[in-house]
């Protein structure tokens, strides 16, 4: 059967299918599969580019008139592909080698040695993570391919790869947000070695749940110190691109972040991350007391039927801590207590999602795991694009969204247009 598209295009389609399905319940396996497909694509593209340069024309370019009808010319005709198995540290990769007919000599790719050689996959993994998830310089591409044992990559292949990556990330940063309506916006940051030297820097991330229950990644931005100015810049960028004020914003209690939220979205509810607060609380207690307090803290939030009830339960825990001589822990829990229980004015089925930035933290943990392969980045563009693409795969392409029932929507409308109603009972909301 005649092949109408090059093998590299077929691999690209498989990658698109993987991204469309999402990472499911096994993000590491999905990312590993993406890395293997990407490694094949990088090698396949390099071979196809090498063949076009050897042949002297592109895939659909006709041969010169002067060569037609002649059999003894150097530039022959394409004659399909033959499979070649490439051994790697993670098993075989199949590459399709172009074949030629009516040529003075057969095509032999210089990317592969004639004697069998084990291809190193760690540099390829790093390259794939770059090729699909971060911006790379041409020097990065060439260096990593050489480390993998592929030899010199053509300038055209490296250049095309770099341009594609720049375009994808640029489109993400500039896309309009006017059509997005958020129920909840989650804000958090991670610190990464952004540059070849110097201290780690903050990378700010914003994502949320839409009114349709879909996950959406909104922004990945550098924030040197995670200060008020840094978060304000992120907020202003989202607003400038058309993002309407979310109903609820979930974030930790960093002073600069809190101030930026109040400045950019004064009408939105602010939920202080319950997990961050719990960590701060445990740190101020002796180890023998932590399990008891942990149980009481989460039970207060889990069993409460509304904000007022949760606040009373937590205030009782504050008083107990103070009575037991743990004044620092009591003060920690009492600080900003109102913001700790805001999630309880939202639909009960989703309250645990609204009360912490846990999902974002887990995703950022995957980012850090991936950056260990890279070491330090050559600059902020490379770093930000890696964070963006891993989070895009884990958040946007994750199929596990949420579903709002009609009762959920009624409660959301009530939260949007009315003051908190502490008389709504749990049994009424769950009816």
Question: Is a pLDDT exceeding 80 seen at residue 105?
Answer: no
Q: What is the pTM of this model?
A: 0.66
Question: Is a pLDDT exceeding 50 seen at residue 59?
Answer: yes
The answer for residues whose C-beta is within 8 angstroms of residue 65's C-beta and 6 or more apart is: none
Mean pLDDT, to the nearest integer, of 41-65? Answer: 71
Specify the pLDDT at position 406. Answer: 85
Q: What is the DSSP letter of 119?
A: B
Question: Average pLDDT over the chain, rounded to whole?
Answer: 77
Tens of pLDDT, residues 182-198 = 999 999 988 887 887 88
Mean pLDDT, to the nearest integer, of 316-332? Answer: 95
The Cα 196–Cα 114 span in angstroms is 37
Place of tokens 């063949």: 51
Specify the pLDDT at position 90. Answer: 54
Question: Is a pLDDT exceeding 90 seen at residue 109?
Answer: no
Q: What is the DSSP letter of 89?
A: T
The Cα 121–Cα 35 span in angstroms is 10
The angle, 0 to 180 degrees and rounded to 10, between the axes of the packed helices 138-148 and 155-174 is 120
Question: 407 burial class (0-12, 13-18, 19+ CB within 10 angstroms)?
Answer: middle
The Cα 43–Cα 22 span in angstroms is 24
Question: Is a pLDDT exceeding 70 seen at residue 297?
Answer: yes
Tokens of 300: 């207060």
Q: Which residues pair with 185 in a beta bridge?
A: 208, 249
Tens of pLDDT, residues 148-181 = 555 555 555 555 555 665 677 788 899 999 999 9
Q: Which of 26-40, 247-261, 412-426 tops mean pLDDT?
A: 247-261
Question: Cα(first)–Cα(last) distance of the chain, in Å?
Answer: 60
Q: Where are the domains of the chain?
A: 7-172, 178-417
CA distances 85 to 10, 13, 50, 96, Å, are 17, 21, 18, 9
Residue 314 contacts residue 307 (beta carbons within 8 Å): no
Specify the pLDDT at position 266. Answer: 95
Question: Is a pLDDT exceeding 60 seen at residue 124?
Answer: no
Torsion of Cα atoms, 320 then 323 then 329 then 334, to 10°? 60
């Amino acid at each position: 059967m005649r092949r109408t598209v090059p093998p590299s295009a077929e691999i690209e389609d498989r990658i698109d299918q993987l991204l469309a399905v999402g990472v499911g319940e096994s993000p590491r396996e999905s990312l590993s599969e993406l890395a293997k497909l990407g490694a094949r694509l990088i090698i396949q593209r390099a071979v196809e580019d090498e063949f076009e340069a050897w042949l002297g024309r592109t895939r659909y370019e006709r041969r010169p008139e002067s060569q037609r009808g002649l059999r003894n010319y150097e530039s022959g005709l394409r004659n399909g592909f033959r499979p070649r198995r490439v051994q790697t540290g993670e098993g075989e990769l199949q590459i399709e080698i172009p074949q030629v007919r009516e040529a003075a000599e057969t095509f032999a790719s210089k990317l592969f040695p004639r004697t069998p050689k084990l291809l190193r996959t760690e540099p390829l993994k790093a390259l794939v993570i770059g090729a699909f998830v971060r911006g790379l310089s041409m020097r990065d591409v060439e260096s990593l391919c050489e480390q993998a044992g592929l030899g010199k990559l053509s300038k055209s292949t490296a250049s095309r790869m770099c341009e594609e990556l720049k375009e994808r990330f640029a489109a993400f940063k500039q896309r309009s947000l006017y059509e997005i309506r958020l129920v909840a916006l989650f804000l958090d940051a991670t610190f990464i070695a952004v540059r070849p030297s110097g201290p780690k820097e903050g990378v700010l991330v914003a994502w949320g749940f839409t009114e349709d229950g879909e996950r959406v990644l909104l922004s990945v931005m550098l924030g040197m110190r995670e200060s008020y100015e840094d978060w304000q810049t992120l907020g202003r960028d989202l607003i400038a691109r058309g993002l309407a004020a979310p109903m609820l914003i979930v974030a930790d209690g960093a002073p600069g972040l809190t101030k930026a939220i109040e400045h950019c979205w004064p009408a939105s509810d602010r939920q202080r991350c319950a997990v961050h607060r719990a960590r701060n609380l445990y740190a101020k207690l002796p180890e023998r007391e932590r399990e008891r307090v942990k149980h009481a803290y989460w039970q207060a939030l889990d069993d409460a039927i509304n904000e007022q009830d949760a606040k009373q339960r937590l205030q009782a825990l504050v008083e107990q801590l103070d009575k037991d001589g743990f004044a620092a822990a009591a003060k920690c829990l009492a600080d900003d207590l109102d913001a700790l229980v805001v999630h309880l004015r939202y639909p009960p089925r989703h309250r645990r999602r609204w009360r912490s930035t846990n999902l974002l933290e887990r995703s950022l943990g995957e980012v850090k795991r991936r950056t260990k392969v890279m070491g330090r980045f050559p600059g902020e563009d490379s770093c930000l694009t890696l964070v963006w693409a891993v989070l895009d795969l884990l958040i946007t392409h994750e199929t596990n969204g949420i579903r709002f029932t009609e009762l959920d929507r009624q409660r959301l409308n009530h939260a949007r247009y009315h003051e908190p109603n502490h008389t709504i009972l749990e049994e009424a909301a769950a009816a």
